[in-house]
Amino acid sequence: METIDCIKTRISVRKYLDKEISDETVRQLIGCARHAPFGGGPKKEPQLWEFIIIKDKIIKEKLALEYEDRQFVKQAPLIIAVCADKTKDQKYKNWEITASLATQNLLLASYDLGLGACFITTFTHHKTHKEERRKLIEALNLPEHIELIALITIGYPDPSEEIEKKELREIDEMTHFNAW
């Protein structure tokens, strides 16, 4: 698939076929994620992202408990928790941004491989989700210096899922030249 087509046609998928994703495919996804930009030039800043590969049914059920309207979490054949090691970026503290770039690579690679994926970040920025976040961190056994950035559910898309196309703002509504 061409890159621009992949970017323009990728959608969030929340209904998956009951079909396992091979370890080789998972390695391919992580391999693509690690090619994301990470700032500072070669070898100046470390790649600070970390990935937790979740296929275990019990752990998926624990994660799904934190999402009343997201039972698709436990039904996904694969969940990847995207994390960042805060100790690797003491100077700029841009760990969330660089891990998000790796996440985008992972989402696009999933789509290119014929997989569907859904990017979940509800727990990261909303003050109302502090308890939910704490439980997710506990379920994943994250050490204090590791920041949970996103959960990505991944699987082969169920063709019966009806997906509404999102309305996108017009380019001219969001584009400013030379200044605001």
Burial class (CB in 10 A: 0-12, 13-18, 19+), 54: buried
Q: State whether the Cα torsion 84-150-125-37 is positive or negative.
A: positive
* Residue 102 tokens, joined: 């790796």
Cα 44–Cα 48–Cα 50 angle in degrees, nearest 5: 155
Q: How do residues 86-136 score in pLDDT, each as one tens digit?
A: 888 767 678 888 899 999 999 999 999 999 999 988 666 556 677 788 888
Please tell me the distance from the alpha carbon of residue 79 to that of residue 154, in angstroms, as a whole number.
6
Residue 80 has φ and ψ, to the nearest 5°, of -115, 120
Share of the chain above pLDDT 90, in %: 58
Q: How do residues 59-81 score in pLDDT, each as one tens digit?
A: 998 888 776 667 889 899 999 99
What DSSP designation does 164 have? P
User: What does pTM read for this prediction?
Assistant: 0.90
Domains and CATH numbers, the chain: 19-159 (3.40.109.10)
Task: Give the residue, 43 or 91, on which the prediction is more confident.
Answer: 91
Share of the chain above pLDDT 70, in %: 88
- Residue 127 is predicted with a pLDDT of 62
CA 165 distance to own-chain centroid: 20
Residue (of 5, 54, 85, 68) closest to 153 by Cα position: 54
* Residue 2 tokens, joined: 């061409």
